[in-house]
Structure 1
Amino acid sequence: MTAAVYTARKRLKVLMLTKEFGGQPMWTMDIENYMGYQFITGPELMDKFDEQVRRFPIAIQYEEVTDLSQNTDGTFTVISDSGEYQAQAVIIASGKRPRRLEVPGEAEFTGRGVSYCATCDGPLFTGKNVAVIGGGNSALQAAIEVSGVAAKVYLISLHGYTAEPIVIEKLKELAQPVIEFSGYTTTEVKGTQAVETLIITNNETKEQTELTVQGVFVEIGLLPNTEYCQGILNFNNYREVVTDCRARTNIPGLFAAGDVTNGPDKQIVIAAGDGAKAAMVAYEYLLHKRGVRC
């Protein structure tokens, strides 16, 4: 969204292709480190971004991009599930999506107890038992959030916590402590019409424990949305797009910004800054490219 605003301000003809507005911040309830706001929720912040985008002449198509290729003249073809588009330059800002457990029952009960967004679905489990899977910031924040509504919260981590100290501290200060299972692997999600139990396995003893839960929140990391541009771009070992300090990829005219890149820190403020930088570098590229009408 930031890249779209900055390119529109440069009087470029902008098309924004997206499945949905907001991305990962839509799953975040408490934001305390975005400049200008001492506290704001993710959906509230994205509403403000959305409002600003719509002040500019930006064409917006709610479509999923399925392929990206470079033409012989150096331009690009972008194919979505609903159309095909030509562009002189492309900014990839497709972010990341939740990583799945890939265990029996997970896919079957997704939307029927298995969730990847505590902010979105937490209130649905008021007064119920839930399990949160993971040991990073997102997992601990999810446990903190659902502890305010759930009857009981289990926190299952593979190798302890990797979250920031301030998040761990907040977890320890909860009025209703979570029940911690550190050093456990999630083995299976079970139920009939909806989730009923979760099977976890001790990594050392291999002993299995069956927890009675109605909700399972999977918070084990994210995967970059880069399938549509594989074969054209350089990726790192995490399938993130490799960029230089000016948001440039290995293909001239093709730029990338935000969490989809190999940038070391994944923060909203950094992603927004990346979008602005990519837009300005893309404008500079077009300005110096002969015969291009912006």
Structure 2
Amino acid sequence: MNIIGLGKAGCAIAEKFGVHPQYKIFQIDVDKQGTRCYNVKRRKGPEEYEANTPSLKKFFGNIQGATTFVIGGSGDISAMSLRIMEQIKDKCDISILYIAPDKSLLSEKRKMHEKVTYNVLQNYARSGAIERIYLISNPQVESILGEVPIMGYFDKLNDFIVSTMHMINVFRNADPVMGGLRTPVGSRRISTVGIYDMEKDEEKLFFSLDTKRETCYIYCVGEKRLREDGGLHKNIVTQMKGKTNDETVDVSFGVFPTNYNNDYGYVLAHSPNIQS
């Protein structure tokens, strides 16, 4: 899988995906140097970045297949995102990982730019031009983690985001011992992810979707428990039946074996609607 980071936030997250051998990392930012890094000339604002988007065909080379485009919406350089994706969309199945900042800390100009980027990219996904967009809220991720120190603040948030996305990717390419992960209905391209506590039957999403129309739960259970816990099957079925009471939301799940002693879970949620 390819990971493309655009701007400071996007590149910081892309770098963290790079610790896993499954990913090929590309980084695009001002003053960016290194392997598969593209150095963008600094511009005065989003309009100039968009107007001066470079041709990156040589930089991307023979890129193809599943590609995640990581972007923080408040950075001026994010204005290049559509023009960059246009250069590779015929060769790649693109999903966007959109990192929404704490908007209360943005200037009015930044708020306006972020709002435009946020809405444009959602519409781009909803139209089917790309596979989907995953929305992640930094303040919501912080609230899940609890107290996060100032030193290393974004490192801790990014570690949590990347580890969650990575493990979801792993289980998507694995065979469950029970259930199965459905492909979302075609119109449901606005998505988020989260963690799921299977003991408490409690989910915590990384972004609050206005309307959920499809939810998928990933149970990660130690092999010993899968072999010995006679009540686990009934517990999982009961939990999933409880979630189907809302007829407006389609529910699926998969149970996957792990080598860990502690069980854990993830959740994906999908909507057909542009989020406010």
Q: TM-score interval w.r.t. the shorter chain? A: under 0.3
Q: Which structure: greater helix fraction?
A: 2
TM-score by length of 2: 0.25
TM-score by length of 1: 0.24
Higher relative CO (Cα under 8 Å, sequence separation at least 6) belongs to: 1
